[in-house]
Copies of this chain bind each other. A is one copy, B any other.
Amino acid sequence: MTDVVTAGVLVIGDEILSGRTKDKNIGFIAEYLTNIGIDLKEVRVVADEEADIIAALNALRQRYDYIFTTGGIGPTHDDITADSVAKAFGVGISHHPDVVERFRKRFQDSELNEARLRMARIPDGASLVESATIMAPGFWIGNVIVMAGVPSIMQAMMDIVAPKLRSGVRMLSESVRANAREGDIGTPLREIALANPETQIGSYPFRDEDGNPNTNLVVRSRDPDKLRVAMGAVQQMLAALKR
């Protein structure tokens, strides 16, 4: 098992960039990947523009182990993800016979129009990401997994794909509420971070229920012993503050 498996996410959609739709997929995928031992390293959001999708996809897929895309696989003219992915990989694209077959069972002839058939267009060599409850499948080609933009469908697709993903040693995480202002603990926290190189220590300020500035501290490591040592140092530092 490799220690670290990395991922990138590519969100495709004008509606996210215009602010009309607020993305809910980034946070879900981020948490999901963390839980199964894959490190999400980068997210990009691009418009429904073929050149932008191809450029972002090619940059990401060369850099990370897996790329997850969301959006742009529906039946309308602005759904251009499948064609863009095919071009990024330099492969052809055509109506996938299994998908067409399923559509024939599901739709009457009058409903099986050009638009709906568009959802059966799958790049050559891709595997389908499908289930009985998903009408338009996602697909997997190379290290790229193409999913729907509608959160409930995307989430179902993640569940289908997850068991097939190679995963690394899971990043472990512990957090503590500091009951202190970030500025009061920043100096000793830096020393703890420097003394514990195989951990990541994050500091997140927030306003607590009394409206006072407070801080959550999060220690992360793949090594449970190193996590324990670093969190011990953080706890000791916080206890010393109260004296």
Chain B residues with CB under 8 Å of A19's CB are 27-34, 40
CB closest residue in chain B, given A203: B76
Answer whether A116 and B18 are a contact pair too, CB < 8 Å, given A41-B47, A76-B189, A77-B189. no
Asked whether any CB of chain B lies closer than 8 Å to the CB of A101, the reply is no
Answer whether A218 and B113 are a contact pair too, CB < 8 Å, given A75-B182, A189-B77, A202-B78. no
Stoichiometry, as copies per complex, reads 2
On whether the beta carbons of B115 and A183 are closer than 8 Å, the reply is yes
CB closest residue in chain B, given A9: B45
Chain B residues with CB under 8 Å of A26's CB are 16, 23, 26, 45
Chain B residues with CB under 8 Å of A111's CB are 183-184
Chain B residues with CB under 8 Å of A41's CB are 17, 46-47, 52
User: In the complex, A46 Cα to B43 Cα: how many Å?
Assistant: 7
Interface of A is mostly: mixed
Answer whether A201 and B78 are a contact pair too, CB < 8 Å, given A34-B19, A118-B186. yes
Chain B residues with CB under 8 Å of A47's CB are 41-42
CB neighbors of B among A150-177 (8 A): 150, 171, 173
Chain B residues with CB under 8 Å of A44's CB are 42-45
Chain B residues with CB under 8 Å of A130's CB are none
User: In the complex, A171 Cα to B14 Cα: how many Å?
Assistant: 12
Q: Of B32, B46, B116, B200, which one neighbours A42 at CB under 8 angstroms?
A: B46
